[in-house]
Amino acid sequence: MVVTFLTIASFRFRDATVLIDIESLSLSFTFSAFTFIRSSLLLPFVYSSLKSPDIETWQRLDLLLDATLTNQVSSKASISQGSALFRIAASVFTEIPSLKMIRDASLGSSKELRFHHAPIFGLVCGLLGMDAETSQRAYLFVTLRDVVSAATRLNLVGPMGASVMQHRIAVVAETVLEKWKDREASEACQTSPLLDVVQGCHGYLFSRLFCS
C-alpha cells in the first residue's frame, strides 16, 4: 500500500506528536506506532516511579529520563506537561502532603531537575495508591486520547472518526501494554526511529497549530 504523507503535521498537543496520513489505515499505523513509542520508552519510567514513590527515586528517574528523551520536541513537551501535572496534583491532593513536599524540595534543589511527565505521572499514581496495571493503562489511555484529540483539532479526522479510530487502536494498545508493562527504567527503548526523526522536524514547519 502506498503511503503518502498528507502533511508532516508534526505537532505537539500536550505530549502528543503525530505523523498523519489521509488513508485511515495509515492513520491507525501512526497512532499504533506512537503508542508503541510511548510504551517502550516511557512506560518503564511510569512503572519505576510508581513502584517507589519517594523523592530520591523520582529525582533519579527525572535525570535519567532527561538523558533518554533526546528528542528536543518531545523533551520540552514532557517538561511542560510534567510541571503542570505536578503543580496541579500538589494543589488538588492536599490529603497527600508528600506531593507538595517533594515538589517544593525539588524546585529549590541544585540538581538539574526537569520535571518530566512520565515519572511524575507514576509518582502521583503511586502516592494515590493506584495499582501498577491501572496506572500504566491510564498513562497509555492519556497518550492515545491526546493523539486522537490533536488529530481532530487539526481537522484531519472528524470527531466521530476519531472515536472509531481510538476504539480500534485500544485493542492494539492493550497488547502493547501487556508487552511493555512492569519494566524497570533501564529497559526503556525506542522502537520507531522514523517517528523520532519526524518529530524532531517540528521546528522546521512553516506553520504550526500547537506550540513546540
Partner 1 sequence: MATGKVVVEKIRGRSTATSCFSKYPLKFILPTKVAPVGTDVVWIYSITYGGGIVSGDSISCEFTIGDGCTAVLTTQSSTKVYKAIGSKCSEQTLEVMFLSHVCYNHLSCARIGSESLLVVVPDPVTCFSTARYYQKQNFRLLSDSNLVLVDWITSGRHANGEKWDFEFYKSINNVYLEDDKPLFLDTVLLEKRNIQSIAERMQDYHAIAMVILFGPKLRELQKQVQENVKNMMSEQLQISYSSRRHNPDSRVRNGFMKPEFIASCSTFGPEGKGVVVRIASDSTESVYNFLRQQLGDLEPLLGQSPYA
Chain positions contacting partner 1, by CB under 8 A: 3-8, 22, 29, 32-33, 36, 40, 63-64, 67-68, 70-73, 75, 112, 172, 175-176, 179, 188-194, 196-201, 203-206
Single out the residue of 36, 47, 26, 46 nearest to residue 173, CA to CA: 36
Least spacing, CB of residue 132 vs partner 1, in Å: 22
Least spacing, CB of residue 48 vs partner 1, in Å: 14
C-alpha dihedral, 161 to 164 to 166 to 167, nearest 10°: 180
End-to-end C-alpha distance for the chain, whole angstroms: 32
Smaller CB separation from partner 1, 31 or 121: 31
Smaller CB separation from partner 1, 55 or 172: 172
Burial 99-115 (b: 16+ CB within 10 A, else e): bbebbeebeeeeeebbb
Least spacing, CB of residue 63 vs partner 1, in Å: 7
Which residues fall within 8 angstroms of residue 88, CB to CB, at 6 or more apart?
Answer: none
Smaller CB separation from partner 1, 36 or 86: 36
Least spacing, CB of residue 12 vs partner 1, in Å: 14
Pair 148, 165: CB distance under 8 Å:
yes
Smaller CB separation from partner 1, 83 or 190: 190
